[in-house]
Amino acid sequence: MQEIYNAIQTAAIKIDYAIKHEDKGYSDNQNSTGDIQLKLDIHCDEIIESIFSSITTVKELASEEKAEPFTLHEEGRYLIGYDPLDGSSLADVNLSVGSIFGIYENDYSGANLKAAVYVVYGPRVEIVTADHEGVKLFRLEPDNTFAFIQEIRLKERGKLNAPGGTQKNWPSHHKALIESLFAEGYRLRYSGGMVPDLHQILLKGGGIFSYPGTTDVPAGKLRKVFEVFPFAFIYEQAGGEAIDGKQRLLDLKPEHIHDTTPCFFGSKEEIQKVRNSYANY
Ligand code: P6P
């Protein structure tokens, strides 16, 4: 697994450079969920594919930017589902963006996730890894190495509320849940970037991030394999919980590689509030 973590560190340095110095224009292509791809999306995907291609323990790659998974090394052990540059359009307005990696065995179900990693490209470049040893924060140093900073743990209850999705399309019980959190004094923290928004809640000790099913998109927007399962794994390893409103997210399986799901990530008390609000829906 360390070989994969090292490869992600190398990719992170190259991607950070690309974000800061390379063409931000749109390509002529769409990805499998219909998003028009930035040239940056495609280049970041190429950086990651190139770096993983030399790691023989990696059997298969599944990228959010490609229609289907593809085999790298037939005898490899790990399947890697990744989003090379999540929230890439935020780079145009100089907001933080990120890369997300789920490291699976056998298939891309939540139960087969063995480790998860994300990179935040912001004022600092930081990497968070989660495996059976816990959740660890690393930061890019001037000599282009990543220094261990701290373990990350969530408190039982936090103070931040990151409510995603188009509010006019929230179901009424979801709207009541979000309003009840603000009435309790939770602070709004939402940039539109899943990685920095979830990173902030982890580093500030807790709260809740939600991207619900909406009246126009009942299955939600965020992708199980590339985004949701990795963060569900990270939040659980940090002492929090991650559900779809009722079920534990890591108990779910993708129907297809780009499958999406409603998702809630947070401290235990906030996730219990979600269960209470969604119990009868
Ligand atoms: P909305 C970015 O496009 C993204 O995939 C996630 O990074 C983010 O959490 C979500 O979409 C934001 O979606 O509908 O709130 O703008």
Please report, in tens digits, the pLDDT of each residue of the chain (281 residues total): 999 999 999 999 999 999 999 876 777 787 777 777 778 999 999 999 999 999 999 999 999 999 999 999 999 999 999 999 999 989 989 999 999 999 999 999 999 999 999 999 999 999 999 999 999 999 999 999 999 999 999 999 999 999 999 999 999 999 999 999 999 999 999 999 999 999 999 999 899 999 999 999 999 999 999 999 999 999 999 999 999 999 999 999 999 999 999 999 999 999 999 999 999 98
Q: What is the pLDDT of residue 36?
A: 74
Dist. CA 179 → ligand 1 center (Å)? 20
Q: Ligand 1 test: best mutation among 93, 121, 221, most atoms within 8 Å of CB? A: 221
Domain of 274, CATH number, reads: 3.40.190.80
172 plus 146 within the same structural domain: no
Residues 126 and 176 in one domain: no
Q: In what order do the strands lie in the sheet with 113-121?
A: 70-71, 58-63, 78-86, 97-105, 113-121, 125-131, 134-140, 146-151
Whether residues 42 and 137 fall in one domain: yes
Domain termination site, one of 100, 122, 151: 151
How far, in Å, CA of 270 to CA of 104, rounded? Answer: 28
| Shared domain check, 147 and 40 | yes
Is there a single domain that holds both residue 100 and residue 181? no
Residues 141 and 168 in one domain: no
pTM: 0.96
Whole-number pLDDT of residue 144: 97
- Kindly state whether residues 19 and 127 are assigned to the same domain: yes
Top mutation candidate among 35, 118, 194, 231 for ligand 1, by most atoms within 8 Å of CB: 194
Compute the distance from residue 221 Cα to the ligand 1 centre, in Å: 8
Number of structural domains in the chain = 2
In this structure, which residue's CA is closest to atom 1 in ligand 1? 165
Among 89, 211, 214, the mutation site with the greatest number of ligand 1 atoms within 8 A of its Cβ is: 211
- 45 and 73 co-located in one domain: yes
Last residue of a domain, one of 126, 151, 176: 151
166 and 53 part of one domain = no
| C-alpha closest to that of 255 among 218, 219, 214 | 219
Q: Which ligand 1 atom is nearest residue 35's CA?
A: 3
Last residue of a domain, one of 121, 151, 181: 151
The answer to whether residues 143 and 164 belong to one domain is no
Q: Which atom of ligand 1 is nearest to the CA of 209?
A: 9
Among protein residues, the one whose CA lies closest to atom 14 of ligand 1: 165
123 and 7 within one domain:
yes
> Would you state the pLDDT for residue 24?
66
Q: Are 147 and 49 within one domain? A: yes
Which phi and psi angles does 82 have, rounded to 5°? -145, 155
**Hey, what are 219's tokens?**
């299955």
Contact residues of ligand 1, CB 6 A cut-off: 86-87, 164-165, 192-194, 221
Structural domain harbouring 197: 160-278
CATH number at residue 102: 3.30.540.10
